[in-house]
Structure 1
């Protein structure tokens, strides 16, 4: 269900391999280390995906819309078992989790280049739109009542 570019960015984020400002400084580039999204000092990947108020809002909004909680603080632990949900719901939850990390990275790059910060609600709405669009383009099976009700709440 995942899109390859989103999966790659998620993998790079889990491994701490994204070129965040702290990594660029370690590579010898002299740059301002303030976060493009919130303006505070960015020290690591941890800031970008957990400590940044922008990312916190995005993740919180996604949790609300999907009606779940992520077992923070590690990205790699987001895929723990979600009890009481169907296989389809698990796929959509995982796709949403991966897509929000990609969207945060994309928003960070847009803020760096265009100096425009996307609103967290708009970002999460776009993430869910993309995930559900991909789901509907690939889904040919019947949905249970529980799954249909859950999907109706997400939209």
Structure 2
């Protein structure tokens, strides 16, 4: 199966793209590894591997700098997990969270999925606007959780 082709749209002053050649990994690492509550301390190599094996999207300002990002762990056929949604501080207040979610919901590789999930501590209202709600059957879900894996320096 050939690799997916890049999907890019212009949305006002911002360009949203899943083109990996545009994605600013060091900036993403600063956000996700240094400022997020969900992956603080993630090693750069681990984030690089995660992004390479996901549908990873950047939002770019008029100057071409990446100002926001999102990632979907997906098989592009049945399931997706939205994660690492982050808007850089300087770009907040421009609706980029909504733009990223609209982009993902319309992305050609994410159409026809049986399930699209995410987890959030503080943005339920944003995601509800795009059809997300509580798990239908949370009692059927299980997890293996290791919140200290990055502090121990183990490869994820």
Fold shared per TM-score above 0.5: no
* Bigger share in strand: 2
What's the TM-score once normalised by structure 2's chain length?
A: 0.31
Highest relative contact order (Cα 8 Å, sep 6+), 1 or 2?
Answer: 1
* Bigger share in helix: 1
